[in-house]
Structure formats: structure tokens, C-alpha cells
Structure 1
Amino acid sequence: MSQQEVRTKVEKLLENHAVGTMATIKGNKPHTRFMTFFHDNLKLYAATSKETDKIEEIEANPYTHILIGYGGDGYGDEYVDYQGKVSVNHSEDLKKKLWTEKMEPWFESPDDPNYIILEMEPIQVRLMTNQVGDEPKEVEL
């Protein structure tokens, strides 16, 4: 599979699967939660509250591991294995761009001071399958 084919498959998985798991470190142990992700090419974004545990965890260790795209249909499903470095993006334009009505139970509006955007800069991105003999395919960054 060519590098362009791998990248296209990864981008398609990111486009079609917004929910994935995001792991951080809490008390020197892994801490994983489901998150909704937005993407721009291979950069990921996630909305969250600045009052969550993950903010303290990211301040202590800004690295994350994300799994996204698994359809749950069984063995052989493709998914994205994503390692990245997290920062808080303070762009008001980005907050408005990513805002959806589905966020209203947690935030008053895109101007809510607790509403922040996590930005994940990719360090390693791999296309994974669960098929025997099919090795992970790394995206060249």
C-alpha cells in the first residue's frame, strides 16, 4: 500500500469516526476516556472544560495516545493508532468553528469561559487492522 493510500485511509477513518479513546497519565497510571474529535488533516481537536482532570494531567504530561475509527464489526476492522502532543488552543475563531448545539448541556455558548479546545499535534500515526499478518502502516508526517 502506498503512503498516499495509507494517509487517505487514515483521513477517511478520522472523517467517518468522531468518537475515540484518549489516554493521559493520572497519578503515574494510564487514564482513558471517550472523546469526540474534530480533525484538520492529521491534527486532532477536542472540546472540553477547563475544569476537567485531563487539563491537570496534560499540564503534567502533554503526551496522549488516541484510538479512533474502530467500527466494532469484528476482527479485521481498520482503526487509527495516534500518538500526539496536546496543547490548549485559545483561538476564539476555532472555538466558534467547532461549536455544535450538542455541547449546550455542558457549555452556555462558544464564549463560555470553561469551554476550551485541546489541540493534538501528531507524533506518530498508524493505520491498524486486526488481520493476521497485516502489519501496522505508519503515516509519514
Structure 2
Amino acid sequence: MNLEEKILQVMGGMHVGAVATIAGNKPAVRFMALRGYDDMSLVAGTMKSTRKVGELKAHPDAAISIWSGVEFSDPYVGISATAEVHEDRETKERYWNPVFEEYFGSIDNPDFILLVFVAKTIEYYTPPVMEPEIWNR
């Protein structure tokens, strides 16, 4: 299995990940529901009124961690990404997920937006080996 395939086993599909942004001059971390795609991007729905959106508009760099399992020996990834804030209907339709209905009502909710995290670097870890394999865009 090549590195991209191993990474996608961890980050592909729906996951909860820890997403770090810059708030002023300090890091801010929160868990987010993310969907990973084969192009090494992650997409999350959110409300444009949230603090994280303002933080990402001011500083689009983000760090994301996703762990794939239950055991400490299960692989995980650390992702350095650039965030894009999308409010356009076309992007919302492309990435709409029925799970979003519970949180945002509908695609027409004026506060609903998408965050697309485009990975620049992904570190793939398989504990107990702490030296990652590194993927770069």
C-alpha cells in the first residue's frame, strides 16, 4: 500500500478531527466533523458567524489531527492545511451531506458555509514508531 492509500485509510470519509487555528496570536483548537477526499482535502460545514471562520479568514493556515482507531498503536495523521471559506451555492451543493440537515437545516440557511482544508503536508504516524512518513502537495 502506498503512502496516499495509507493516509486515506485514516482521513478518508467522515471523521472527527482536532482543528487548530490562530486566534490573535494564540492557537485555538476544536473538534470538527470532517469528510476527507481523495485529493487530500477535508471539508466541514459550519456557521459563518463562528469564531473559527473569522480566525481562518484572518489566518488561513490550519493544523488538523485525525486518529484512525481505538488502540494506541493505530495510525494517525497530522495535517498542515490552508483553509478556504466557501459561501457559494455550487460548492455547497457539491459537498452537501444529509448529516448537515440536523445542524444547519438546509443548504439555503444563510449562515451555513463550508470550510475546505487543502492539505499542504501530511505526516502519517504508526506508533510506536514516532518518525512519520511525509506526504507533500
In the superposition, the TM-score normalised over structure 2's length comes to: 0.87
Deviation at 1:7, TM superposition (A): 0.9
Uncovered stretches (5+) of structure 2, i.e. residues with no partner: none
Residue of structure 1 equivalent to 2:122? 125
Work out which of the residue numbers 133, 136, 139 in structure 1 matches 2:135.
Answer: 139
Mapping of residues 4-83 of structure 1, within 5 Å: 5-15=2-12, 18-41=15-38, 42-74=40-72, 76-83=73-80
How many positions carry a matched residue from both structures? 136
Which residue identity lines up with residue 66 of structure 2 in the other structure? I
Bigger mean CA offset, 83-92 vs 57-66: 83-92
1:115–1:17 distance in 2 versus 1, CA, 3 Å: closer
3-state SS of the aligned residue for 1:36? strand
Cα RMSD, aligned residues only: 1.8
Which structure 1 segments of 5+ residues have no match?
none
Query: Does 2:83 match 1:108?
Result: no
Per the alignment, in what secondary structure is the counterpart of residue 9 of structure 1? helix
Percent of aligned positions that are identical: 31
Matches of 1:87 and 1:16, distance apart in 2 = 19
Which protein is richer in strand relative to its size? Answer: 2
| Cα offset, 1:46, TM superposition | 0.9
> Hey, what's the Cα distance between the residues in 1 that align with 2:84 and 2:9?
24
| TM-score, normalisation: structure 1 | 0.85
* SS state at 1:51 partner: coil
